[in-house]
Structure 1
Amino acid sequence: MSDPDPDARTVLVAGTASHAGKSTLAAGVCRHLARRGVSVAPFKAHNMSNNARVALAPDGEWGEVGVSQYVRPGPART
């Protein structure tokens, strides 16, 4: 595994509880940065939700993603 790009910028949004607004805040930060021309890539590392949406996988097969992963690219403008 190669070392991370030293020029890469990372923002982590963390909280101590569910439904604290972390995903909403992350989407807002991504949208703010995207409007200023910054390339953003929102990602939710672990989804504890029972709610899922059907999505097309990179290999062309259908699968499921968590709701917050499904809706975040829209508001974040990615």
Structure 2
Amino acid sequence: MINGNFDYKAYIYQQNLKLINQVEDLENKSRRRDILVGEEILFEHYDDFIPDDVCDGVTFDKWKDFLQRAAKFCF
């Protein structure tokens, strides 16, 4: 997921990639390399948040669907 080698078409993932590209463009235009966090920090975030058994697009979708259903019960 971090380096873009995750073949996944879900809206949220595509939006994240789009935002990363926009920040990279901003870094290039401003000649700065300290705006976007590093891959290590992104990995740690995903590693802390996403369960270990979520390892591909299919299991990610199942996990995402579970979270969406669970969120409906919170309200």
TM-score in terms of structure 1 length: 0.28
- Computing the radius of gyration from Cα coordinates, the structure with the larger value is 2
Q: Would you tell me which structure has more helix in proportion to its own residues?
A: 2
Q: Would you tell me which structure has more strand in proportion to its own residues?
A: 1
TM-score in terms of structure 2 length: 0.29
